[in-house]
Chain A
Amino acid sequence: MTPEEEQRRLAAQRRNARVVAILLGAFVILMFAVSIAKIGMQHR
């Protein structure tokens, strides 16, 4: 693999890692919101 190809590979990995991080963050927020909603529904 040439240095340019290596750089492109690293850039693609970084892009994907950023997307996965955002999705994981969104999942944590969603699970928190679902838990709060479920607790609220039980107390109704």
Chain B
Amino acid sequence: MTTETIALPADWRDFLALTKPRVMTLVVFTGLCGMLAAPGTVNPVIGFTAILCIALGAGAAGALNQWYEADLDAKMRRTAARPLPAGRMDRQSALHFGVGLGAFSVLLMGLAANVLAAGILAVSILFYVLVYTVWLKPRTPQNIVIGGAAGAFPPLIGWAAATGGLAPLPLLLFALVFLWTPPHFWALALFVKTDYANAGIPMLPVVAGERATRTQIGLYTIPMAVAAIAPWPLKLTGAIHGAVAIVATAWFALLAVRVATRSTREGDTMRPEKQLFGFSIVYLFVLFGAVVVDRWLA
């Protein structure tokens, strides 16, 4: 635990950094797409508030993750400059901020949208903090496989906020994000392996080795592709989504196969892994965007 005395109160920018704003972008976007893909129209004020609640809930989960992992973050180059390991904030402030923001986001969602959306939001925050951060991440290389569910909830929340119920399409969108998470994170883990090893986090490349990780990236891409394209043949989306899903998924699969079939050489820049990681983010934006465009143009 950080015992350093904090002389200055933490700056508001440090509280903002605690919410992991970059991760939040994808969460907000998938939540918004879940809402916009739902049938009917949602009141703009209620829709805005629901998306705000998803963002605040994700921020709370990020803050509690950083509170719990402050010691680990200090050991990794990628995370050492975060407010807690850098000593710009005390842990208690981060804990209070995370719990307060989480409770606030769920209550506001319940008041503005409905109980179902608030319930799923609460489950997603608790799942990310308790199941992923506290339980799985330090114990098993399957951490991001099961933990990936936490990041897959936003389309369900967006849909539930708009309709008050759930349907096969948001469940498939949930499955897509869930199955997309392993290849996405393992591509990252391949080129930041040393960081994870130094921190003692049992990421797959650290525990099972690079070969196994590459194989798993290839294997997980198969069900992910099925979940990505399935809404079209199931007639839940139209041809626009179908075409975009096939092209984008084929590209994703090509990059994944390239990563799955190669080995790291001496002085390797890990370009294919970085490309897969970068494209995987664009891929999710494009696919969710296609679902919405399809729904609004159909």
Contact = CB atoms under 8 A, between A and B. Distances in A.
By secondary structure, the A interface counts as helix
Nearest to B46: A37
Contacts, number: 34
A12 B9 contact: yes
Interface string A1-41: 10001001100110110010000000000100110111011
B298 interface: no
Contacts of A9: 7-9
Contacts of B268: none
Contacts of B46: 34, 37-38, 41
A8 B8 contact: yes
Contacts of A36: 45
B254 interface: no
A5 B8 CA distance: 8
Interface of B: 7-12, 43, 45-46, 49, 52, 111-112
Nearest to A18: B12
B45 A37 contact: yes
A34 B43 CA distance: 10
Contact of B9 (A5, A13, A34, A40): A13
A41 B7 contact: no
Contacts of A40: 43
Nearest to B7: A5
A30 B111 CA distance: 12
B45 A12 contact: no
Contact of B12 (A8, A15, A34, A38): A15
B112 A34 contact: yes
B7 A34 contact: no
Nearest to B45: A37
Given A1-B7, A9-B7, A41 B43 contact: yes
A34 B11 contact: no
B43 A16 contact: no
B14 to A, nearest CB: 10
A12 B112 contact: no
A16 B7 contact: no
B9 A16 contact: yes
Contacts of A12: 8-9, 11
A2 to B, nearest CB: 10
Contacts of A19: 12
Contact of A34 (B8, B10, B111): B111
Given A1-B7, A12-B11, A41-B43, 7 more contacts: A9-B9, A15-B12, A33-B45, A37-B43, A37-B46, A38-B46, A40-B43
Contacts of B7: 1, 5, 9
